[in-house]
Amino acid sequence: MDHSIAQLDKLSRFLRYIDRWLVILIILYSMIRILVLFGFQILHSDKLSVLFQFLQQASALNMTTSRYSYIFTNMDLFLIEEYINTASSVFECNISGFRIVKTDPLMKTEVGLTSDAVAVVGKALTKLRSDGVHIAAETIVCEEGGVWTGGVYLNRAIRQVEMETSATGILNFNETGQRSMLVLDGIKRINSQFVKKSAWQARARKMANDLDARSNLP
């Protein structure tokens, strides 16, 4: 009976978790509908070359004049200027997007996030050493539920790291290990270069129904 109640409780928490994400998806869908209504075309591709090919095809159809607006969700959109500079076509359309990197000069998003990850782990290890906590390798059997003691301490130390300046802005984490503050810069192509026009800040809130998000830290 206790096992059945626990399973029902877990299912209930899972459904509430899904319900939260459905609300978020509905809001995002509504925002996209509004943007499309006002003439914005939203496109995504991990490859800038694909986005540039789209612009070239749009130019052939006379769809890169000032009356057209496009939003690209590639976080390295600012690098597409290198492709545009080599093109024979003229792109007068409005091109907007987002970026997370804050460095000057800008670096690729993947490089920025990797740099931040290395900095966070390094800062966590330095803090552990200053607190007299030494992490050593251990032999564990994952299939038997073994836990690396050093990993538990490192996990907690990483979540306590705070950095005011990093490649991608302010860095801090909540108790579930998620980044608790994230700022996306809205950028727009003006005079053949992408400039920051706005900023959108998202704060990660702890979901009371997060499944398996609790950690038994010493």
Instruction: Dump pLDDT digits (tens) for 131-167.
Output: 999 888 888 888 888 888 888 899 999 999 999 989 9
| Cis before 105? omega within 30 | yes
Q: To the nearest 5 percent, what fractions of the chain are helix, strand and coil?
A: 45, 20, 40
Tell me what pLDDT residue 148 has. Answer: 87
- pLDDT, tens digit (0-9, with 9 covering 90-100), for 163-200: 998 999 999 988 888 888 888 899 999 988 999 998 88
Q: What is the mean pLDDT of the chain?
A: 81
CATH number of this structure's domain 107-181, picked from the four choices 3.40.640.10, 3.40.50.2300, 2.40.160.60, 3.40.190.10 = 3.40.50.2300
Tell me what pLDDT residue 14 has. Answer: 56
Tell me what pLDDT residue 59 has. Answer: 94
Is-contact 77 43, C-beta < 8 A? no
Tell me what pLDDT residue 31 has. Answer: 61
pLDDT at position 213 over 60: no
Could you state, in order of their start, the residue ranges of all structural domains in the chain?
A: 1-103+183-212, 107-181
Is-contact 195 1, C-beta < 8 A? no
Is-contact 36 15, C-beta < 8 A? no
- pLDDT, tens digit (0-9, with 9 covering 90-100), for 24-54: 566 666 665 665 555 678 888 999 999 999 9
Tell me what pLDDT residue 161 has. Answer: 94
Tell me what pLDDT residue 122 has. Answer: 94
Residue 79, classified by CB atoms within 10 Å of its CB into exposed (0-12), middle (13-18) or buried (19+), is middle
Q: What is the mean pLDDT of residues 63-76?
A: 92
Helices and strands: H and E segment counts in the chain: 5, 5
Q: Does domain 1-103+183-212 have CATH number 3.40.50?
A: yes
Least confident span in 11-15, 96-100, 169-173 = 11-15
Residues 6+ apart with CB under 8 A from 210: 17, 176
Pairing verdict, β 69-72 and 181-190: unpaired
pLDDT at position 68 over 60: yes
- Does 30 or 83 have the greater pLDDT score? 83
